[in-house]
Chains A and B, each alone.
Chain A
Amino acid sequence: MYQNLSADEILNNLTQIAADPYERAKEWKMETGSKIIGCYIMHFPEELLHAAGILPIVLQVKEEPITSGHAYYPAYFCGPTRSVVDQAAKGELDFLDAFVGGDYCIQAVGGSEVVGNLLPKVNNMFFRLPVGNQPWTHGDIVQGLKELKRDTERFTGREISAESIRESIRIYNKNRSLIKELYELRTSKPGILSSGEMMSIIKSSMVMPKEEHNAILESLLPKLAEQKDSKRQDAVRVFLSGSFCGAPKNEILSLVEESGAVVVGDDLFHGFRYISDNIGEDDREPLEAIAAHYIDKNTNVPCPTRCDPKTDWPQYLVDSMRKHKADQLVIVMAQFCEPHMFFYPDIKDAMQAAGIPHLLLEISHELDSIETIKTRLEAFVEMAV
């Protein structure tokens, strides 16, 4: 059905799906009678859950003010965690059949517990993802995956075969590869996709069947490839970094571009971080391949929650800036995001040592003065003109 639509129409559809992120999944549930499992944002083996015949979706931050959630989670915790708790408290996640929490950050652990308690009719699971990169880490991750596989099988009442996991890996790899193609297209023509559109493409991928998303991207790619680049050649080239768990507010992405900049690369979770690495499709036992992926993808795009001593996120950013010929770095940090705050001093030092100007935008869930952010972004871009 997407073959007959223009690139703009396809992008509008994906933007709408991303804007109301659970609606497509609810429709899918009505259409198929199958089950949906909500994943608590980062670092979940969606491929394994997909292989069980259920639809895994990544829970999304909503921009609406937190109300009911205040009763369960304090205001000094990060916006993404509080937003998911708030959605659960308001009954907005009651459409889920199962929920899987994680332990990649202390706020996520607590948030998972609270959401689990707020969704009593939902089957609650937990994915234990050991941190680090020691000789035993791979084996530990495999064990965590086996525990989740066991719990998922109990939930669905049927065994997950190795072949079905391999098939899911192929589908998910295809999705990552297609989005990477979009990134490559955008490298040569930065104007064909705004950063907001790019984010909507990735966000929609997280909340709808990957097979359907793949079909949409296969229609979109050739249409975009035909388009001419509309961006001014002298626009200031900006690399966007950070924003774990929650997608950066669309308004902020628009402001970056309205300030006269063009986004030439990112390591956002709702960006390159989500699709940076494919899972091996070799003869390995599939859970072994997924575990290796968790270590490899952190080498490709280091994540502060993974506590991997062999990776260097600040240096990765310096290298990425050079690779993308970026003039400036804009860091979007969710207020009270502990892993990000922990790394920021090192990033600041690395940028100063490399002579790269950077701007830190610490974004709170409710209290942002957009006008102030606008002035700071514009002044930052003016520095490079």
Chain B
Amino acid sequence: MTSKTDGSSFFTMGVDSGSLTGKAVIIDGNKQIVSHSVKQLGFVSQKAVTMAIDEALDKAGLGLDDIAFTVSTGYGRKRLEIAGKNLTEISCHAKGANYLYPEVKTVIDIGGQDSKVIAVDPSGNVKNFAMNDKCAAGTGQFLEVLARALDVELTEIGELSMQSDADIKISSMCTTFAESEVISLVAEGHSTIDILSGMHKAISGRMKGLVGRVGMQKPVMMTGGGAKNIGLVHALEKSLGVSIFIPSEPQIVGALGAALFANDFATGIRKKVEEEQDLDKSRAPAKDCASCSIQNYQLNKTT
């Protein structure tokens, strides 16, 4: 799978230690994806992360010593000892999304524990973001709880919900209350597919509010495990009135971004950016708007 020629003779790795899954991506010096892996075990499972790393290395025919630099991201990012640097999944999803679709301006990430909307600039930097801040409502975990309550497989809920043309409203977005509401709907005789459809509409309504906080700009991409749910994607497209780009492996976008950051650190590109920032901050105190540090900061961000 690997071709160790030219820039391909050195490798960097991104590891996304998510709340429900562990993901690893290895890229070569030409920033081509060499291998990736997604593993799911328990909450922020170190074992799942280790398994994902081992599998990605195995698929690439590499050992850990062959990796020049590793960046970790996700909920468990601070716990990965082999990582030379850790960055938030917000920065990594923006970077990964920009790599896969350079024109992308808005990224919607629905992960296991939280959802985020990220405004991305043409260089893959985060311009702005919003994140659900109180609970897991509307996330992968929320879907898992409700799939269990309805006795359907998580992987089936997307296709099933697409069969519904009913308009069931689920008002509560608290995972616990929504579960009670679903139980009431089942008791009232509503079909599973109609309830699933209502659930996706409810989540997309909540996401619309989050998108509104950032300000949607097209094109829009969806990442994270939630993007694998075709029913949710359709509900979101309808709610937002846009067509959403879904990458072939939406769960690895954060780890891919981390691998790209690792490449930046390994090659010194990232450090160079920091040095430029230092120069900017060492300038004389601002006396007017044209020379003040805030303006300079903005200039830096847009170049």
A positions within 8 Å CB-CB of B: 233-234, 237, 321-322, 325-327, 354-357, 362, 364, 367, 369, 371-373, 375-376, 378-379, 382-385
Given contacts A234-B274, A367-B134, A369-B134, whether A378 and B294 have CB atoms under 8 Å apart is no
User: Which chain B residues lie closer than 8 Å to A233 at the CB level?
Assistant: 278, 281-282
**20 A–B contacts, CB within 8 A, in A order:** A233-B282, A234-B274, A234-B277, A234-B281, A321-B294, A322-B294, A325-B281, A325-B286, A325-B292, A327-B293, A362-B133, A364-B134, A369-B133, A373-B133, A375-B88, A375-B131, A376-B131, A382-B87, A382-B126, A383-B301
Chain A, residue nearest B133 (CB): A372
User: Which chain B residues lie closer than 8 Å to A382 at the CB level?
Assistant: 87-88, 90-91, 126
User: Which chain B residues lie closer than 8 Å to A356 at the CB level?
Assistant: 294
15 further contact pairs, Cβ within 8 A, besides A237-B281, A357-B128: A234-B278, A321-B294, A364-B134, A367-B135, A371-B75, A372-B133, A375-B75, A375-B88, A375-B89, A375-B90, A379-B131, A383-B91, A383-B127, A385-B273, A385-B277
Q: How far is the CA of A322 from the CA of B285 in the complex (A)?
A: 9
Q: How far is the CA of A264 from the CA of B89 in the complex (A)?
A: 27
8 Å CB contact of B114 from A325, A326, A327, A372: A372
Q: How far is the CA of A242 from the CA of B117 in the complex (A)?
A: 25
> Could you give, for residues 267-281 of chain B, a 1 whenever the CB lies within 8 Å of some chain A CB and a 0 otherwise?
000000110011001
Residue pair B294, A355 in contact (C-beta under 8 Å): yes
Shortest Cβ gap from A184 to chain B (Å): 15
Given contacts A233-B281, A325-B286, A327-B297, whether A379 and B129 have CB atoms under 8 Å apart is yes
Q: How far is the CA of A367 from the CA of B174 in the complex (A)?
A: 13
User: Which chain B residues lie closer than 8 Å to A357 at the CB level?
Assistant: 128
Q: How far is the CA of A385 from the CA of B135 in the complex (A)?
A: 29
Chain A, residue nearest B90 (CB): A379
The DSSP consensus for interface residues of chain B is mixed
User: Which chain A residues lie closer than 8 Å to B89 at the CB level?
Assistant: 375, 379
Total interface residues on B, CB under 8 Å, equals 32
Q: How many A-B residue pairs have CB under 8 A?
A: 78
Shortest Cβ gap from A325 to chain B (Å): 5
Shortest beta-carbon contacts, A-B, top 10: A379-B90, A379-B88, A355-B298, A382-B91, A378-B88, A325-B293, A234-B278, A383-B126, A375-B88, A322-B292
Confirm or deny: B155 has a beta carbon within 8 angstroms of a beta carbon on chain A.
Answer: no
Residue pair B295, A355 in contact (C-beta under 8 Å): yes
Q: How far is the CA of A171 from the CA of B75 in the complex (A)?
A: 49
Confirm or deny: B125 has a beta carbon within 8 angstroms of a beta carbon on chain A.
Answer: yes
Q: How far is the CA of A35 from the CA of B242 in the complex (A)?
A: 67
Chain B, residue nearest A258 (CB): B78
User: Which chain A residues lie closer than 8 Å to B286 at the CB level?
Assistant: 322, 325
Q: How far is the CA of A369 from the CA of B125 in the complex (A)?
A: 26
Chain A, residue nearest B132 (CB): A372
Q: How far is the CA of A371 from the CA of B75 in the complex (A)?
A: 8
User: Which chain A residues lie closer than 8 Å to B278 at the CB level?
Assistant: 233-234
Q: Identify which of A234, A354, A375 gathers the most chain B CB atoms within 10 Å of its CB.
A: A375
Residue pair A384, B297 in contact (C-beta under 8 Å): yes
User: Which chain B residues lie closer than 8 Å to A384 at the CB level?
Assistant: 277, 297
User: Which chain B residues lie closer than 8 Å to A364 at the CB level?
Assistant: 134
User: Which chain B residues lie closer than 8 Å to A355 at the CB level?
Assistant: 294-295, 297-298
User: Which chain A residues lie closer than 8 Å to B129 at the CB level?
Assistant: 376, 379
Shortest Cβ gap from B199 to chain A (Å): 23
Chain A, residue nearest B275 (CB): A234
Q: How far is the CA of A369 from the CA of B114 in the complex (A)?
A: 11
User: Which chain B residues lie closer than 8 Å to A378 at the CB level?
Assistant: 87-88
